[in-house]
Amino acid sequence: TECSPPTAATNVSQYACLRRTTTENHNKIFTDVFEELAENSEFNESKGPCLAFRRAASVLKSLPSAVHCLGAIQGLPCLGEHTKAVMEEILIFGRSFKVEEVQSDERYQALKLFTSVFGVGPKTAEKWYRRGLRSLKEILAEPNIQLNRMQRAGFLYYMDISKAVSKAEAKALRSIIEETAHWIAPDSKLALTGGFRRGKEYGHDVDFLLTVPEMGKEEGLLLRVIDRLRDQGILLYCEHQGSTFDMSKLPSRRFEAMDHFEKCFLILRLEEGQMEGDGGLQKDPGESRGWRAVRVDLVAPPVDRYAFALLGWTGSRQFERDLRRFARKERGMCLDNHALYDKTKKLFLPATSEEDIFAHLGLEYVEPWQRNA
């Protein structure tokens, strides 16, 4: 009787787009463990288990209260025998021996450390590990290692960009980039996306969409914004990708495929005095150099694709995965960052807002702050 399943558990959907998930996570003790196990599976290229752990974490994040006993998860989707066994360990012992085993694994430690560097993916990390390298110092000291430009920036600003970005810092960057964009194109619009649009207090970067109301006018805009940021002395690093967008192409079925919009991955210099809320007060002058480096993603979709780009770049990743899976499996539609295609009717479904896209999919609208799946 002390442990009956909450009534909510009986109608939780397997799709994150049919759940509401705020930033308030009542089951962090479980989801942190599942996310680490997912990451470990990713390093071992075990795609099935990786997805299973991610889905389990996502379902638990959507619950309105903390799980105190296994009875409370009866009937919940995406929780199999394996994930339940991990939860049981945590409920009984207050810790997971499985995750502790992973955390103490030399290879896991090295791959986690290496992939924490901007520009270093699992493939490169694995290569370095196989060469016997274990620390960042060893990588920098190894003469035969060729770092690309992105990785060099990743090492150069490692301390700053591995530090969380606050909401105040995100707002300050927004003002700076907006002012720069308006100086070039007064009718341009800058929208905050990613985790900060979902209401997160901290992020690993800041994501923006930049658009102009007239089709085609976005061409060349991003490059001019980058030039201007460089002139202002705040551009520390820039990787620009031109548009490879083809209107006639069907939406991609591979989620992890990069989108085709013109975009840039930046590292910007943010002065401490530019932040709201610190009252312009200098922190301990001995400790602070007065500025920090911040990772920024800036995307420039054509205006008729704005709604799709906004939905795709707002995340969370798990929410996006499930939205696409739902579209494909339940509606026979294909969704990506650029378009929504109805495979039965063989036509593209246009949208000027995120609400339009949810309506096309026959879904209730989910607010950005409810997409923290």
Q: Is 297 annotated as a binding residue?
A: yes
Q: Reply yes or no on whether 207 is catalytic.
A: yes
Query: Whole-angstrom Cα distance, residue 358 to residue 100?
Result: 41
Query: Whole-angstrom Cα distance, residue 347 to residue 337?
Result: 17
Q: Which of 39, 42, 207, 320 binds Mn ion (CB under 5 A)?
A: 207
Give SS3 for 371: strand
Give the shortest CB-105-to-ligand TTP separation in angstroms: 24
Give the shortest CB-22-to-Mn ion separation in angstroms: 8
Positions that interact with ligand TTP (CB under 6 A): 194-195, 200, 203-205, 207, 258-259, 312-313, 315-317, 320, 337
Pick the closer one to ligand TTP by CB: 119 or 203: 203
Partner from ligand TTP, Mn ion, none binding residue 320, C-beta < 5-8 Å depending on class? ligand TTP
- Residue 255's H or E segment, with its range, is none
| 361 φψ region: left (φ > 0), alpha (ψ -120 to 50), beta (else) | alpha
Span of 8-16, 29-37, 204-212, 339-347 interacting with Mn ion by CB under 5 A: 204-212
Give the shortest CB-205-to-Mn ion separation in angstroms: 4
Pick the closer one to Mn ion by CB: 205 or 336: 205
Q: If binding is defined by CB under 5 A, does position 322 make contact with Mn ion? A: no
Give the shortest CB-316-to-ligand TTP separation in angstroms: 5
Query: Whole-angstrom Cα distance, residue 348 to residue 335?
Result: 10
Give the shortest CB-193-to-ligand TTP separation in angstroms: 7
Span of 49-57, 158-166, 196-204, 254-262 interacting with Mn ion by CB under 5 A: 196-204
Query: Whole-angstrom Cα distance, residue 122 to residue 364?
Result: 37
**List 160, 205, 259, 322, catalytic entry:** 205
Q: Is 207 annotated as a binding residue?
A: yes
Q: Which tokens in the block code for residue 77?
A: 């989707």
Three-class secondary structure assignment of 145-194: CCCCHHHHHHHHCHHHHCCCEEHHHHHHHHHHHHHHHHHHCCCCEEEEEH
Nearest to 140 by CA among 156, 161, 127, 129: 156
Nearest to 372 by CA among 124, 200, 144: 200
Going across the sheet that includes 347-348, the strands are 333-335, 340-342, 347-348
**x-or-dash pattern for Mn ion, window 254-293, by CB under 5 A?**
----------------------------------------
Q: Reply yes or no on whether 336 is catalytic.
A: no
Q: Reply yes or no on whether 297 is catalytic.
A: yes
Provide the annotated active-site residues: 205, 207, 297
